[in-house]
Structure 1
């Protein structure tokens, strides 16, 4: 009889404990982890000034029923073994009661299945490396919130959005970045379809959508946070960030007239330019086809020949393409020529190829922005430069590891270009030779077996425009114009004398393209420059 009375009293206390929503909320919060008095009050939404009495009453009831105890070491409240068993039993009971009215999930594989919170926990562990216990607690919270929404059919993206929101709410943002789904908003997809439909631009449609996904992947997940911050702020630019995970910047290959069309098998995974080294004259029809095809892919195509034949040169130029030839093969005259310095073979921007025939990647530094960021203080400016170069180094190091999965011959051969040199010299009071020498030294400082940074004054107009636009946003138009004037930041070299060109060629092994008069060019023969011949000024900058 006494035993029966004891069990009835015990059951009575259990049911009394569960008869209050506030006490149930306390048990659920303590099921996740122990909490102090103040933390538990805050977790269940009770104000310390107005609800202290009620809260103390609820705590006494839970402790009297043997469900909660105070840990003497940590001074935090926690579930007793009995409390843990009770909460587990309640979850099982809840699952049985709701089984017939279970949440349904529409899967991307075009089928519908019953909701299973264990799948959320598994994804959290496998994709985001969340500890199993934490993942299980998050899955339980997600299940409760989804059931409160009273949605007939759930979707996987909606569940993922809710879980991401829970991660932020629980202070677990470090896991959210790994769980984020990559894609495009519905509005952007519909706009892209509308833009492409009128032109039947299928390649544009595919490339734009894939670029958006890979850009999001690179900036959200692949690159270190400090690199992404430097890129988004406008301190640095990463050329081809949309294909950063798998592309090289430029490639040189050998081809003659018989196998010229094999060029088409090499352009995939190249971001900027294909250079074809040839010793024979391909027919005009093949040249026009290649020019049109690669232009549609937004790739530059440049020919490189160690000899110079007028018929061949004319055929290339008539096709709208560029041709690089050794300058010494040309007759000197007074015409202005674009010279490629200081190494060969090189891209049409002057950037040298590695021994494997690749330029693995390109980036640019915003010298104007870094100077404005320093408030005009030179010491702080150089600290900013070092931080930006370190960010580029880490970006290239990550790029090499990713690109090596697609390209076996990646050697870590990267170009770092400087934008805004002219503005710092003309308005910032810098000595050009000293500026170039210090920038070159900073690039050498980062050199390693994995990554070689080759400094260059040759960037692109598109990059310079991006830098100026972002600087106006963060520093204001007035400050930008005070240092840079109304023009776009300088993105290509302006070295007026032969001595300056020789100095820059020595300290800037990343190469450059510069316009010089024929007689002036003759004084640079020791550098063995290449002459870049082009029929159209539009090709000077090319896609970027």
Structure 2
């Protein structure tokens, strides 16, 4: 019987060996450097116990085709001369065909993803009400035209504009009208209007519609090109970018006596300019009954997504808890200075607040906000949070710590430059020395484990690596931050989620799931899911890392009986 490997020509064996996406990934990984068996498996996102058989099968195919070779002494795999030639011809073929391995699309929600023409077809059916057959035809034409453009990154508006021109060419004007943009796609405006009618809150419509325009304008016209590229590619994140030109992340108000109504009026008048947290710090007493009434009014009229945080004295907090309304609890937060409480009072208070389900933090620093950020010079406002993707930098550097630190330094420098530009804008509105920004990070422990070597529990080497990374980051911020940017140990969850989704395209879903899970990178220096040998080791790690983050360090604890 014929058809076995011995009956195939050399060319047939080569073509068969490169017909698998996994084998192509092996070749491309080995084109960068020699790799051992385990290292290569990890780079592909394969599990040694589960996927060893499949991995060995693919290696054997490539060895048989003589595209790779293995050093008998080091047991490391490398590309053969034949493998290098095959890869070189594949790259040339991709260029000649006008195709890359994938076309990348920058979505309007700041994510990037591989181009998928089926999404065009689905949007045409959903938004323009085309028939599925006609939608598929238009999507295929769009794909061919986009390939001819040879653009590094596609954008959602560019694709929409191209599809509109195709609809016009085909005489489908009435369908094109449904895809028109009015600052944003008509379909998106319709969805926002529908949600507005459900909420009966005009501020929701204003914020969502203006936010879309501000986000695009900021990325296209305000941020330096390299910063915009790094933000869109998921190497850094700027939050909140949808209000970066006109608003703040958080604002602190102080009540020193007088009319509380005046303070309430000021807070509500400027509420749309604050994206996340409004904090009130009380320096003088106020009757609890009046306070509950004022807070009820404030929380009811704050825009969606905001939280009102309070720093109160010992006795006022007790009385407030007793009179607080259930409907307010999730939109209020307490900042509790532990220096004002005995250990017994702390236990009693924790039980009461826990029963209420009200967000709260304990602090030894009165300048910390509920969100975990603080400024060192008592400036009342925080403009924005810049986040560095540490795990992404570690993966790009392939476990080379020095190379990773160099990448982090470049990104922090670029990020700080953009944040300082933003602070100049805010100083024109709020005055000099009254606004600060923060640089934080995501995926610290994941990156440290990857660099130091994965272990079931966090080892001393992992903590030492984390400390080295943070020292380098903090020193860079000190040099380039002009005294106006601090380092904090918490990043926005939206950044941690966005990084994971983008890096899953860059490095593979299997590898990222193994290193970071499936939801998000850790947004705290040490997340609750990290495992230590004992609680003492956990606190030792916190004590080593916390001094490097002068603008806030959060320890998340879970109390169990």
TM-score (norm: length of structure 2): 0.55
- C-alpha deviations, 1:252-295, integer Å up to 9, x for none? 1123573352332343422221110123233423222212222x
* Alpha-carbon separation, structure 2, partners of 1:416 and 1:478: 29
1:424 aligns with 2:456: no
In 2, are the aligned partners of 1:436 and 1:504 still within 8 Å (CA)?
yes
Q: Which residue of 2 aligns with 1:350?
A: 372
Alignment of 1:21-60 (within 5 A): none
1:370 to 371, 376, 393: 393
- Partner SS state of residue 390, structure 1: helix
Cα distance between partner residues in 2 of 1:313 and 1:342? 21
2:545 is the alignment partner of 1:504 = yes
Q: Which residue of 1 aligns with 2:177?
A: none
1:472 corresponds to? 504
CA offsets, 1:448-492, max 9 Å, x none? 574533222212332211111111122220221232244531112
Aligned equivalent of 1:298, options 305, 315, 331: 305
Query: 2-side partners of 1:493 and 1:293: how far apart?
Result: 34
Structure 2 distance, partners of 1:432, 1:223, is: 35
Please give the alpha-carbon distance, in whole angstroms, between the structure 2 residues aligned to 1:195 and 1:202.
10
Kept in 2: contact 1:244–1:399 (CA 8 A): yes
- Larger CA deviation: 415-424 vs 436-445: 436-445
Distance 1:365 1:315 in 2: 42
Q: Deviations over 1:489-536 (max 9, x none)?
A: 111243854433333331111212324589xxxxxxxxxxxxxxxxxx
Alignment of 1:39-118 (within 5 A): none
Please report how far the alpha carbon of residue 297 of structure 1 lies from its aligned counterpart in structure 2 after TM superposition.
3.7
CA contact (8 A) 1:342 1:512 kept: no
Q: SS of 2:555's equivalent? A: strand
- Does the aligned pair in 1 maintain the 2:448–2:465 contact within 8 Å? no
**Residue 361 (structure 1) shift:** 2.0
Decide whether aligned partners of structure 1 residues 292 and 426 sit closer, same or farther in structure 2, where only a CA change above 3 A counts.
farther
Q: Which has the higher contact order (CA 8 A, sep 6+)?
A: 1
Does 461-470 or 282-291 show the bigger shift?
A: 282-291
SS of residue matched to 2:554: strand
CA distance in 2, matches of 1:240, 1:491: 16
- 2:116 matched to which residue of 1? none
Q: Distance in 2 between matches of 1:432 and 1:416?
A: 21
2:259 corresponds to 1:261: no
Q: CA RMSD in A?
A: 3.2
CA shift in 2, pair 1:199/1:355, >3 Å: closer
Distance 1:247 1:517, change over 3 A: same
Residues 1:450 and 1:328: Cα distance change in structure 2 (over 3 Å): closer
1:387 aligns with 2:410: yes
User: Using the alignment, how far apart are the partners of 1:441 and 1:258 within structure 2?
Assistant: 45
Give me the whole-angstrom Cα distance separating, in 1, the residues matched to 2:400 and 2:472.
20
How many Å separate the matches in 2 of 1:464 and 1:184?
26
The verdict on how the C-alpha distance between 1:305 and 1:504 changes in structure 2, with shifts beyond 3 A counting, is farther
Report the CA distance shift for 1:359/1:340 in structure 2 as closer, same or farther (over 3 A): farther
The match for 2:521 is 489
In 1, the alpha carbon distance for the partners of 2:469 and 2:398 equals 20
Aligned residue number for residue 435 of structure 1: 466
- CA distance, structure 2, for counterparts of residue 391 and residue 249 of structure 1: 20
Aligned residue for 1:453? 485
What is the aligned partner in structure 2 of residue 230 from structure 1?
A: 230
Q: CA deviation at 1:219?
A: 0.3
User: What CA distance in whole angstroms lies between the structure 1 residues aligned with 2:554 and 2:324?
Assistant: 20
Whole-angstrom distance in 2 between the partners of 1:498 and 1:246: 40
Checking the alignment, whether the CA contact within 8 Å between 1:396 and 1:451 is kept in structure 2 is: no
Q: Structure 2 stretches of 5 or more lacking a match?
A: 1-160, 166-180, 355-359, 453-460, 528-534
Deviation of the 1:198 alpha carbon: 5.1
Q: Distance in 2 between matches of 1:216 and 1:203?
A: 20
Greater displacement, 420-429 / 321-330: 420-429
The whole-number CA distance in structure 1 between the counterparts of 2:325 and 2:451 is: 41
Structure 1 503/286 Cα, relative in aligned 2: closer, same or farther at 3 Å? same
Query: Residues 329-365 of structure 1: CA distance to partner in whole angstroms, max 9, x if unpaired?
Result: 2332566996555632211122113433122321211
Map of 1:107 onto structure 2: none
Offset from partner CA, 1:175-199 (integer Å, 9 cap, x none): xxxxxx9922344334433443455
Output the CA distance in 2 between the equivalents of 1:487 and 1:401: 35
Matches within 5 A, 1:237-316: 237-255=237-255, 258-259=260-261, 260-262=263-265, 263-278=267-282, 279-280=285-286, 281=288, 282-294=290-302, 296-309=303-316, 310-315=318-323
Structure 1 residues 201 and 411, CA gap change in structure 2 (3 angstroms): closer
Matched residues in 2 for 1:223 and 1:342: separation? 36
Distance of aligned partners of 1:399 and 1:487 in 2 relative to their CA distance in 1, 3 Å threshold = same
Q: Determine the C-alpha separation between the residues in 1 that align with 2:428 and 2:434.
A: 13
CA distance in 1, matches of 2:371, 2:204: 26
Structure 1, unaligned stretches of length 5 or more? 1-160, 166-180, 519-544
> Partners in 2 of 1:342 and 1:366 — Cα distance?
29
- Call closer, same or farther: CA 1:434–1:372 in 2, change over 3 Å: closer
